[in-house]
Amino acid sequence: MAVEPARTGSDPSLPTLIAELWELIKTYVRQETVDPIRGVGRFVIFGVAGALLVGTGAVLLAVGVLRLLQTETDTTFTGNWSWAPYGIVVVALVAGGAWSLSAIGGRRDRREGA
């Protein structure tokens, strides 16, 4: 059984109801779409900025380690072994990337289990 709303002195006109409905729809859409997108936008901006800074730091660190291996190891990496510093740096970068991905995956697994 449907309950009718209590009626006040006069019923609002159809244009008034349409205007109120339109304002309600606009407010709802703004609340449920625009505001969350703004929050995601900030998250994405800070994520991209952080990724660029970490990437730049990793490249600079890798070049530094490469130069260290080339200059401070005397004649260890000369001749047929001149490729070794590059290999060491590549292996270190791959290991760091794998460690980062495993840490991200571990965090996701812990969240799903909770």
Q: What is the pLDDT along the chain (114 residues), one digit of tens a residue?
A: 555 555 555 677 888 999 999 999 999 988 888 888 888 888 899 999 999 999 999 999 999 999 999 999 988 999 999 999 999 999 999 999 999 999 988 765 555 655
Contacts of residues 14-21 at CB distance under 8 Å and 24 or more positions apart, as own/partner, are none
* Helices of type H across the chain: 14-29, 35-72, 84-113
Q: Is 7 among the domain residues?
A: no
pTM beyond 0.95, yes or no: no
pLDDT of residue 9: 56
Is residue 87, in this structure, part of any structural domain at all? yes
Residue 15 domain-assigned (yes or no):
no
Q: Tell which residue, 57, 83, 58, has the closest CA to residue 70.
A: 83
What residue numbers bound the domain in which 38 lies?
Answer: 26-113
Phi-psi region of 11 (alpha: psi -120 to 50; beta: other; left: phi over 0): beta
pLDDT reported for residue 42: 85
- For tokens 């590549």, the residue is 90
Angle, helix 35-72 to helix 84-113, in steps of 10 degrees: 150
Residue 27 to residue 35: CA distance in whole angstroms = 11
| Identity of residue 8 | T
Q: Looking at the 3D structure of the chain, how many domains does it have?
A: 1
In this structure, is residue 75 part of a structural domain?
Answer: yes
Residue 1 lies in a domain: no
User: Quick check: is 46 in a domain?
Assistant: yes
pLDDT of residue 111: 59
Distance CA 57, CA 62 (A): 8
Classify residue 90: in a domain, yes or no.
yes
pLDDT of residue 82: 92
| Domain-located, residue 13 | no
